[in-house]
Structure formats: C-alpha cells, structure tokens
Amino acid sequence: MPPPLVRFLPLALLLLGCWAIRTSLFITNTLTGCPIEGSGRQIFNAEPGIDTATNFDVVLKHTEGNGWKMWDRQKSLSRDRVSCNYRRFVPRFAPEKNVTMCLHDPDVDVISGDIAEFGRWKYCDALVVEYQHAASFFRKEKASGRRKLFYIEAGANIGSCVLEMLLSTNAEIIAFEPDPRNLAQLTTTLMAMDPAYRNRVALFPIALGSERGSSTIHTAADNRGNALVGQPVPDYKNQMFLPPVQISVEALDDLIDLNDGDVAFPLIKMDVQGFECRVIDGMRKVLGATSSVKSEAESKLLAANGCSVEGMLQRLRDARFADTELDKSGDILARKYSRRKGSFLDRHRYQKSVNK
C-alpha cells in the first residue's frame, strides 16, 4: 500500500489544476470538468437547447414606447430588402460555433471589413473575459438565491460583440441599436441562428440617453460604427454621411426593473460615439447593480456633446466604481471589484447602492 501522502497526490493535483484554470483569464471548464466557483452552470460554450429559459420578464419594465417596440425575434427588422455580404463569424472563445453573419460591404464599412478578414471584431474579445470575472464575483457576493445576471450593450451596431457574447457565454443580452440600417444586418444574422441563441437577446431599436425623447442618427458612409445621435462628427475631413434617420431615445433606468436587488449586471458595454455621458446620466440606478463598465471614450466626440473623458470618469466614480482607468485601447474600464483581492471594492457602499 502506498504511503498516505502518495495516495492523496492525484486528488491534490486535480484540485491544483482546477484552481489554476479558474484563476486564469480564459476559463475552459468544458474541457476539464472543473466547476466555476459560485456557479451552478458553465459560462462558456453553452450548447443550443440547453438552459434556454430567459429572465427578461423579470428585468424589463417596458418593451415598447412612443413609436418603437422591442424586436419580437420573429423576422428581421428592415424597411427594405436587406443587402447582405455573408461571411463566417468565428468567436474567439468558441470557434466551433462559427455562424453566418450578415455584413455591410466589407470594402466600404470598417467593422464589416475586419470581420471579413479576421472572422470577428477583436475588440469584443476583452468583453467575454471581463464578463466572466465580474459574473463570478457577483455569485460569490450572493450565493443563496442566485441573482439573475444580464449583459447590457449600448450601441450594438451590426452585432459583432453581441455575437461574441452570445456564442462564448451563457449571458442573457439586453442590446440597444437605433440605426435601422444596422438593425437590418443584426436581426438578419440572428434570424438565421438557432432559436436557443436568438431568445437570449432582448434587442431594442432605440438609443439610450438621459431622458425620453427623439433625435436623429447620423451614420458615416464608410464606417457604420461612427453613428452619432443628434449631429454628425466626422472621423476625418470631408467624411461623407448617410441621410439622417429619426430615432427614439430612452433612459435605461426607465426600462430596467432592479427587482429589489435580485437582478444584476456584471458588465455594461457602451460605444455610442460621444453620447456616453448622457447614457450614464440616464442609468444611475442600473449602475448601482453593475460591477463593470467598458466604454469608448473619445475626447472629440464627447466634447461635441458637452462632456469629456474626465466627466465620464467622475460620473463613474460617483456611481461607486472605485477602480477606473483608461485601458490600452483608450477605452474606459471601470470596476467595483478587484481581481487581485478577489472581492468587491468598497463592499459596504456597494451593497448599500444595490439595495436602495
């Protein structure tokens, strides 16, 4: 019979391996069988048909407003016939789940061109990692009666990050995109996918702002990602814009029900071309139940809307995000948790803000 320590060596090695995987950036528990701490199910690589029940009825106050309705997932949103340049979208963390994506002309549109060349929009990779870590800390904070978790995306464009999150995580996604020309591509892509994926997306054909109202969307002809609410701001001199389109604007706080603290948002992603400060002003309650925010922060675009990078940072600090920084891409990344410490920062004030 082997010595006692030798007998327990295989178990020790297995536990060590699980710990190493769980604390790494890219958790692949489907390959190892190691559970994610605080989670009753895997986050990565969910198969169609598994756990398809959604919780949107718990979190959404309204699914329609003045002149708009949430997408019904029954057909694509298009005023005219959709012109698609079809390419394969290959998610970074689940390449085997590649799907056909409806793009704009890759020779004209920047994001479509990158997806056509590389199979995905690489910016979205970091969102999966951030969501994973933020979600795991939420589950640690409230193990009993697990909170219902949602990913929010303001400025979905043609859906590059929506698809990455949809295929690489189990997140339920609440997305906002006001430009009907982008909505046509996004909903055409989603309609071609398994309903188990499609049903995990609550898509609103509106812009977010500080209050309810209406405006116009101004979209650059050669960069559909440069779509601005209220006024055109060119990327370069003499950039051409498509005809402006009338849109509806809503405050996120008017659409989301925090349900007495039983819902939470591990990550909110914003890419709204200078409208970020107004979006933040309209979601102060939701930010109380949010652990991470990743947002574009371009000085020229913010200035056109009467704000600044420092103005964005201060708003997030006021919302109890204790860790705010500009990341390598120049975006703002704000967190209420510390991956180094393994717990939420400023725990008392955080719990107080959630329970208001």
User: What backbone torsions phi and psi does residue 144 show, to the nearest 5 degrees?
Assistant: -85, 140
* Residues ≥6 apart with Cβ < 8 Å to 11: none
Residue 268: per-residue pLDDT? 98
**d(C-alpha 46, C-alpha 168), whole Å:** 8
Residue 33: both structure tokens together: 């069988």
Q: Among residues 232, 184, 226, which one has the least CA distance to residue 205?
A: 184
- Tens digits of residue pLDDT in 95-152: 999 999 999 999 988 899 999 999 999 999 999 999 999 998 877 765 544 679 999 9
User: SS in 3 state form for 62-73?
Assistant: CCEECCEECCCC
Q: How far apart are the first and last CA of the chain?
A: 60
Q: Distance between CA atoms of 315 and 286, rounded to whole angstroms?
A: 13
- In total, the chain counts a number of residues equal to 356
Residues of the chain with pLDDT under 70: 1-53, 79, 141-146, 338-356
pLDDT score recorded for residue 327: 79
Entry pTM: 0.81
Contact 258, 291 (CB under 8 A): no
Contact (Cβ atoms closer than 8 angstroms) between residue 252 and residue 210: no
Cα distances (angstroms) measured from residue 180 to each of 73, 147, 162, 281: 15, 33, 16, 25
Nearest to 77 by CA among 150, 7, 178: 178
CA dihedral (285, 291, 294, 297) in degrees, to 10, reads 50
| φ and ψ at residue 16, rounded to 5 degrees | -65, -40
Please tell me the distance from the alpha carbon of residue 317 to that of residue 302, in angstroms, as a whole number.
18
**pLDDT at 44 (0 to 100):** 35
Helix axes 125-141 and 160-168, enclosed angle (nearest 10): 50
Rounded to 5 degrees, what are φ and ψ at 101?
-120, 140
Q: What's the one-letter identity of residue 69?
A: K
Helices (H), 23-103: 29-32, 56-59
Q: Which residue has the tokens 């339920």?
A: 172
The DSSP code sequence of 251-310 is -GGGTB--GGGTEEEEEEEE--TT-HHHHHHT-HHHHTTEEEEEE---HHHHHHTT--HH
Distances (CA, A) of 106 to 85, 179, 225, 227, 322: 8, 18, 13, 17, 40
